[in-house]
Amino acid sequence: MAVLPSARSSAMLVLRSVLTRALAARKLAPQVCSSFATGPRQYDGTFYEFRTYCLKPSKMNEFLENTKKNIHLRTAHSELVGFWSVEFGGQVNKVFHIWKYDNFAHRTEVRKAVAKDKEWQQSLTPNLGLIDKQEIEITYLVPWCKLEKPAKEGVYELVSFQMKPGGPALWGDAFKRAINAHVDLGYSKLIGVFHTEYGELNRVHVLWWNESADSRAAGRHQSHEDPRVVAAVRESVNYLVSQQNMLLIPTSFSPLK
């Protein structure tokens, strides 16, 4: 009889590990995102491609002027969500843009059409020499947010959170509560919350808007002293590895202003 409890507990352990594995496998299936978790994606295939270009020193104006002149050739093929220059955060001389695609097949089609578009390809040539490095990330909007548009022009902040391995099933609820605490208390306008599909995994990007860099800074300081925000953030910080932000200034041709 003395062996029974330990036999039972090892059987329990096996069962638990089988269950954990089954849950992990289910987590990979897109249809299994619960309505209140930061599910890996929305139900449709729409995704957002984040592109960051590091430009050669002092080439920002030239790059933006060329792009402004020709971007209509590119947006004829697919939707540009926003185009910003990076004011603060990491390297200088960076631009950041977001492109929307219905699904991966759509992107493949667009890339093919863009490659065949002689006028666009020609317009690209002067810009190619101005770019040092390009980075791409594919992201989905989390299921609990829609992409918002601010009513007037302002500045944007992209905050990128590197979360612990485990995915939204582990940290989704806490993360959502932390973001919503900021939203509900009106410290800044939320534009979108994006979960990375290709790039650094377990990464979430939060895009905020405010009238100016100063009001954004004021809101940040106030929110950090608000016990309701602090309580919500304290929980999600348990799952946080690192975090980073950038202040973004919309370009004149950016749809998101």
Binding site for ligand NAG (CB under 6 A): 186-189, 210-211, 215, 218-219, 222
Q: How far is the CB of 223 from ligand NAG (least distance, A)?
A: 7
Q: Which is nearer to ligand NAG, 71 or 181 (CB)?
A: 181
- Is residue 255 within a helix (H) or strand (E), and if so which, with residue range? none
Q: Which is nearer to ligand NAG, 110 or 213 (CB)?
A: 213
Q: How far apart are CA 172 and CA 36, in angstroms?
A: 8
140 in Cβ contact with 83 (< 8 Å): no
Secondary structure class of 226 (helix, strand, coil): coil
Q: How far is the CB of 150 from ligand NAG (least distance, A)?
A: 7
Tell me how far CA of residue 185 lies from CA of 146, 154, 159, 177, in angstroms. Answer: 19, 20, 18, 12
Q: How far apart are CA 82 and CA 246, in angstroms?
A: 15
Q: How far is the CB of 184 from ligand NAG (least distance, A)?
A: 11
Q: For residue 208, give the nearest of 145, 165, 166, 162 by alpha carbon.
A: 145
Q: Which is nearer to ligand NAG, 173 or 211 (CB)?
A: 211
Q: How far is the CB of 123 from ligand NAG (least distance, A)?
A: 36
Q: How far is the CB of 208 from ligand NAG (least distance, A)?
A: 8
Q: How far is the CB of 189 from ligand NAG (least distance, A)?
A: 4
Q: Which is nearer to ligand NAG, 52 or 210 (CB)?
A: 210
Which residue sits closest to ligand NAG, CB atoms considered?
A: 219
Q: Which is nearer to ligand NAG, 121 or 222 (CB)?
A: 222
Give the CA angle between residues 24, 26, 28 to the nearest 5°.
80
Q: Which is nearer to ligand NAG, 99 or 187 (CB)?
A: 187
Q: For residue 182, give the nearest of 151, 147, 141, 210 by alpha carbon.
A: 210
Question: Residue 84: CB partners within 8 Å, gap ≥ 6?
Answer: 95, 96, 97, 156, 248, 249, 250, 251, 254
